[in-house]
Amino acid sequence: IPLLRRALVMSKRPLLLFGSPWTAPAWMKSNGDVRGKGTLKGKAGDKYHKTWANYFIKFLDEYAKHNVTFWAVTAQNEPLAGLFTPPQAPTIAFTAAQQRDFIAQDLGPALARSPHRTQLLMLDDQRIHLPHWAKVVLGNATAARYVAGLAVHWYLDAIVPPGCSLEATHKLFPDHFLLYTEACTGFFMF
């Protein structure tokens, strides 16, 4: 928080912060561990999903006490990586349908009821999942009304041309922005 506040004060332009979760607490996950391949217990609309949505609100509440506000949050960082990550990585696995239902029934309504004007981003994973992921989530009118945009990572961009992923998604859902939210170089040994 002190570093964020210093950055906000030093910036010549407003900084837009976004938060992206890696994992829920172990007691909420199907594998009983913050690490490894696990999903949220139960299904959208139940106590686990409602509680996880409330964690987002509590996160925003606590930062707001320190005059730090978030422009956006993502529903989950790399939701499909949860199926493929090394066993020590903290994650929650979501399919597109699971994320759609979590947004429509839990996270979207929780954010809408909160005092925060924080926007909600979906996917937050590789663009190879587009436009399929967008069709599943934004194809649902309830979920779509809570989602402002799509968060995208660039690690596997060489596999799928932008026209097949980004452009196709934008044509289908022009009212939802596309934003690269995570990138680095040097992670592939080759």
pLDDT tens, residue by residue, 176-185: 999 999 988 7
132 in any annotated domain: yes
190 in any annotated domain: no
106 in any annotated domain: yes
190 pLDDT above the threshold of 70: no
121 in any annotated domain: yes
For strand 147-153 and strand 119-126, is the pairing parallel, antiparallel, or unpaired?
A: parallel
User: Which of 78, 101, 124, 125 is labelled catalytic?
Assistant: 78
100 in any annotated domain: yes
Task: Please indicate whether residue 182 is annotated as part of the active site.
Answer: yes
- Lowest mean pLDDT segment, chosen from 28-37, 81-90, 160-169: 81-90
A 10 A CB-CB count for 49 gives 23
| Cα–Cα separations (whole angstroms), residue 113 to 12, 61, 71, 142, 181 | 32, 13, 16, 15, 26
pLDDT tens digits along 36-95:
889 999 999 999 999 999 999 999 999 999 999 999 999 999 998 877 777 788 999 999
User: Which of 33, 157, 167, 182 is labelled catalytic?
Assistant: 182
CATH code of the domain covering residue 114: 3.20.20.80
pLDDT tens digits along 91-123:
999 999 999 999 999 999 999 999 999 999 999
Averaged pLDDT, 126-138: 96
d(CA 128, CA 130): 5
Query: Global pTM?
Result: 0.95
Q: What pLDDT does residue 44 have?
A: 98
Domain count, the chain: 1
188 in any annotated domain: no
187 in any annotated domain: no
Q: What pLDDT does residue 189 have?
A: 60
80 in any annotated domain: yes
Q: Sign (positive/negative) of CA torsion 80, 81, 86, 88?
A: negative
Which domain, by its residues, includes 56? Answer: 1-182
Task: Please indicate whether residue 62 is annotated as part of the active site.
Answer: no
